[in-house]
Amino acid sequence: MDEQELKVLESLAPNHPELQELWDKHTLLKKQIDKMESKKFYTPQEEQEMKTLKKEKLEIKTNLHDRIEELS
């Protein structure tokens, strides 16, 4: 998300708590993914979990963009 989108999010979030909730989920997933990616090697289970987390993060980001566009 670029700076302009973050500014729009910050301005809309106080009146639209669902935006803040989506952003919080996105941030949490990013932290989880970053932590997992810091490992040098992954078990097959970890690889699958990372794929799942990345898909979920992308879905949330897409929903967030769509919602911001609707409200802007």
Per residue in 37-65, pLDDT (tens digit) is 999 899 999 999 999 999 999 999 999 99
pLDDT band per the 50, 70, 90 thresholds, residue 72:
confident
Which carries the bigger pLDDT value, residue 6 or residue 64? 64
Q: Tell me how crowded residue 26 is: count the other CB atoms within 10 A of its CB.
A: 19
Of the candidates 27, 28, 10, the residue with the CA atom closest to the CA atom of residue 19 = 10
pTM: predicted TM-score of the whole model, two decimal places: 0.83
Q: With the C-alpha atoms ordered 25, 28, 34, 39, is the resulting torsion angle positive or negative? A: negative
